[in-house]
Amino acid sequence: MCDYPKPIVTVDTVVLTLADGGLNVVLVRRDKEPFPGAQALPGGFVRIGEDRDAGAAARRILAEKAGIATGFLEQLYTFSGPVRDPRGWSVSIAHYFLVRREDLPAEDRFALVPIDRLPELPFDHRAIIAKAVERVRSKASYTTLPIHLMPETFTLEELRACYEAVLGRPLDRSSFRQKMLASGFVVLALGERKGQHRPAQLYRAASPIGDFGRVIG
């Protein structure tokens, strides 16, 4: 059997959440070579004795490096080549997470950075983040994916604000409500949200949905 020298196999994770009205990404401070001290995506080696697959490795690594143990996970893209990592020919199976802001632990092990205010990043982490944002934007335009960023219950105005933050453009309230309710993936919950003025109905994702990345419209 041809046993060629093997590439390094890592997993990088792009955790996206909604903060201050925009998409933010989780960055951690690297403590090892290469680029010790630099801010970067949480990432690490696949452990063949431990991980069931790349997705499981992503969850393990994210918990280890940032203490984040919840969220919707999807494989993003696999980046590879001889130059992206100074340790040699490498493969990074990138994954993205959508996490509710209130499910994030205290920010003592990571930083939340708006996606349009990224610092210098090592490896090809900027390209990985760009791809994740592009994927989520794209899916937001025709699926219920952004609901993963919302709490248990929410008003339709809050949901629309979430979509607008992800997509980066305003959406018509009337069309949005109609499409979202017609989809059947968002249903009335008990109670209302008291605010400054007329209270808004609370909604929740239709039980048992499981997969919010459903196509609507």
Partner DNA sequence: ATAATAGTGTCTTTTAGACATTATATT
Partner DNA sequence: AATATAATGTCTAAAAGACACTATTAT
If contact means CB under 5 to 8 A according to the sort of partner, which of DNA, a copy of itself, none does residue 1 touch?
a copy of itself
Count of residues binding DNA (CB under 7 A)? 21
Residue 5, contacted partner among DNA, a copy of itself, none, CB below 5-8 A by kind: a copy of itself
Applying CB under 7 A, does 191 fall inside the site for DNA? no
6 vs 194 by CB, closer to DNA: 194
Alpha helices in the chain (DSSP H): 54-66, 125-140, 156-167, 173-183
CB of 100 to DNA, least distance (A): 19
- Applying CB under 7 A, among 194, 207, 208, 210 the residue interacting with DNA is 194
- Which residue from 3, 197, 208, 210 is in contact with DNA, where contact means CB under 7 A? 197
168 touching DNA, by CB under 7 A: no
Q: Alpha carbon 207 to chain centroid distance?
A: 22
Answer for the pair 95, 76: CB distance below 8 angstroms, yes or no. Answer: yes
Taking alpha carbons only, the member of 138, 134, 61 closest to residue 93 is 61
- Rule CB under 7 A: which of 101-160 touch DNA? 155-157
177 touches DNA by CB under 7 A: yes
- Give CA–CA dist 129/131, Å, rounded: 5
SS3 182: helix
Buried b (16+ CB within 10 A) or exposed e, 125-137: beebbebbbebbb
Cα distance between residue 167 and residue 192, in whole Å: 26
List the single partner that 172 binds among a copy of itself, DNA, none, CB under 5 to 8 Å by kind: DNA
Applying CB under 7 A, the span of 64-72, 94-102, 143-151, 168-176 interacting with DNA comes to 168-176
Give dist(CA 128, CA 91) in Å, integer.
Answer: 13
Q: Is 6 in the site for DNA (CB under 7 A)?
A: no
**Given the rule CB under 7 A, which residues bind DNA?**
155-157, 171-175, 177-179, 192, 194-201, 217
